[in-house]
Amino acid sequence: MKILGIMGSPHPKGFCYQFTDSFLKGAASKGAEVKQLQLIKHNIKYCRGCYKCVHNNQELPIGICPLKDDMAGILQEYHQADGYIMATPVYDFTVTAVMKTFIERRFALYFKNKSEPGIPAARVKHNYKKKASIIVTGSASDDYAPIAEPCYEVIGGHFMIEEIEVVDQCYIGSVHNLDEEHYGAKLDETFSLGVRLVEEIEKARQEDE
């Protein structure tokens, strides 16, 4: 089983990275093959809204974007994974620009006939056999955890369309001011969420047998 971490902090070794790493260690402890993709280290251009990826090649699981950058390879990895941890810091009440740029380029995972009205549909639906979790870090304390809601919506909207169940959403507040005890507790919590994601995917697979 492959679990892909998609990490949207511009800070490569920051808190968001550390909690994503802990989550993936939890998933690996259950036998999953894990990888953390740090979006900031990749060349991901802005979506130009040309709709070429969405309107063409319906037979493909991933549409073809005319932009030449790292996204085609990233979407291949995304397509091949069984589960996801998507993590972002809160920046100005929502996901970082790094994460948003990636999310917009996921448009290639959708298809729509040009002549028909409405929004594009997922090229591949996963019938909730694939699962995901979301981690959000922020300066606001845990008392203000609802500050993460817009991040959950922006990230979770695509999972909804692709029929990927979001198992857990976790906000880690006061991230720059956690003492050793609380920092350790959050590492333990994110590790457990990684374990849980793998268990939930296994459970969904067993239901099919």
Ligand X SMILES: Cc1cc2nc3c(=O)[nH]c(=O)nc-3n(C[C@H](O)[C@H](O)[C@H](O)COP(=O)(O)O)c2cc1C
Beta strands in the chain (DSSP E): 2-7, 33-38, 83-89, 110-111, 121-122, 131-137, 165-172
Q: Give kind and range of the element (H or E) at residue 76.
A: helix 71-80
Q: Does 183 bind ligand X (CB under 6 A)?
A: no
In angstroms, what is the minimal distance from the CB of 20 to ligand X? 9
Going by the DSSP 8-state scheme, the letter that residue 32 receives in this structure is -
- In sign, the C-alpha dihedral spanning 179, 180, 182, 183 is positive
Selected from 140, 161, 166, 178, the binder of ligand X by CB under 6 A is 140
- Residue whose CB is less far from ligand X, 7 or 54: 7
Selected from 15, 107, 110, 111, the binder of ligand X by CB under 6 A is 15
What's the CA gap between 207 and 112, in Å, rounded? 32
Q: Give kind and range of the element (H or E) at residue 156.
A: helix 149-161
Going by the DSSP 8-state scheme, the letter that residue 82 receives in this structure is S
> Residue 121 CA to chain centroid, in angstroms?
18
- Residue whose CB is less far from ligand X, 76 or 177: 177
- Site residues for ligand X, 18-77, by CB under 6 A, read none
In angstroms, what is the minimal distance from the CB of 150 to ligand X? 10
Contact track, ligand X, 87-126, x by CB under 6 A: --xxxxx---------------------------------
Residue 208, SS3 per DSSP: helix
- Residue whose CB is less far from ligand X, 51 or 144: 144
Selected from 108, 175, 187, 197, the binder of ligand X by CB under 6 A is 175
User: Total residues at the site for ligand X (CB under 6 A)?
Assistant: 17
Residue type for 162, please?
Answer: E
Selected from 1, 2, 11, 101, the binder of ligand X by CB under 6 A is 11
Binding residues for ligand X, rule: CB under 6 A, are: 9, 11, 14-17, 89-93, 137-140, 147, 175
